[in-house]
Amino acid sequence: MNWNAVRERLPLPDDDGSDGASEAADDGGNAGNGGNGRGGTRVTRRRALTALGTTVGFAGSAKAIDNVFVGYGIVEGTNLVDQDLATVVGQRLQPRNTWTRVRDNDLVVHDGVAFLEGDGVDESLDLATATRADAREIDDELGVELFEPLVADHETLARMRDTNAAEVDGVRFEFSTYEPFFERVREGNARPGSVARLRENRYTDVDPATVEAFAEADPRDPKAVVDGLVPAFRGHTSYDIPRYAAGSVEDNVLLGSVDLRQHFESPTDFAALEDGRNSGMFCYEFVYRSVEALHSVSAYDQTTPVFGGRVYDERHKHEFTAIGSVLRESDELVIPMTFVDYTHSTLYDDLMLRGVMGRGLEAYNDRHRATDIFWNN
């Protein structure tokens, strides 16, 4: 946990609680951190922390118990193991226009047409009308196995645009914990082209060198990245308990009349994590960083090509990471899936409560559930 960053947000011993409120009042404006941005009561960091101290014990403890123990099928509700997970996964999963790199060439798939451009290379193929023999001929000329798998998988992927993927003939989902997931992909006939088409390009703007330095893992090895992010997150950040508590008080006690969260916000990108400007992250921010890390290199360059997504649990207002791949078995596309939770591996380890409240990184279990999964958000 980045205790120094957290400590910087707390009032200093000689802080009188004003945070410059008197000076701002003399100017007649909402200078510094004094204004709430809504024309309402001025709330300083100290007052915010005081409010948290007196109310979060009541509002927060009940919420924490509800979030951790209820709604996963023990008292009521369900969980990833018991629910109809394929239907949830397949609801939004579909191929999109995409750009990626293949052997220093640009591969673009747009409206069902694949374009490969690079030094001395300029090929295009309509995936819907081309035959596998046509595609194989181009592959032989280029010395790569590229267009034939794209043509072979295209018809099945295209049906996922208008139909839940769980209902598409020729698509089968498999779910497991993350160790067996990576073994399954490693030993199967992986389809990096189809994986690339299921990725969202918003997650490709992180330099692989940044991921490697942060996670101390080769970004071409997704399993190493998944494991490496656990100590990396714990060493550079923590779950943002002060911001969570502030939000609970703001929403449940003050009913949104005062903006408490503003006093506990910090940047959450990889650069901020590295240089100490970050002082805590929420569950969805762990998801964004983890998917960015997994998507930082081309699926064609990965030892086990993967795509990532954001799982939303409406019942518990929680989010965690989904990881999938695509395999070809006979005439089927098999989509193995797994789930990891960096909130659990960070927060519960920090608080030494993993045995009671969470099970570390693993999320395909009876302590997680999915309302929706966003792949292309």
Backbone angles phi, psi at 278, to 5 degrees: -80, 140
User: pLDDT below 70 — which residues of the chain?
Assistant: 1-77, 203-204, 348-359, 376-377
Query: What's residue 9's pLDDT?
Result: 46
Residues in the chain: 377
What is the dihedral angle through the alpha carbons of 281, 285, 290, 294, rounded to the nearest 10 degrees? -150
Query: What's residue 14's pLDDT?
Result: 41
Output the CA angle 153-307-224, nearest 5 degrees.
125
In this prediction the pTM is 0.81
Structure tokens at 334: 């098999």
**Can you tell me the distance from the alpha carbon of 140 to that of 133, in angstroms, rounded to the nearest whole number?**
10
Closest listed residue to residue 314, CA positions, set 246, 369, 257: 369
Amino acid at 206: V
**167-181 confidence digits (pLDDT tens):** 999 999 999 999 999
**Can you tell me the distance from the alpha carbon of 267 to that of 68, in angstroms, rounded to the nearest whole number?**
27
Contact (CB, 8 A) for 149 and 328 = yes
Determine the 3-state secondary structure of 106 from DSSP.
Answer: strand
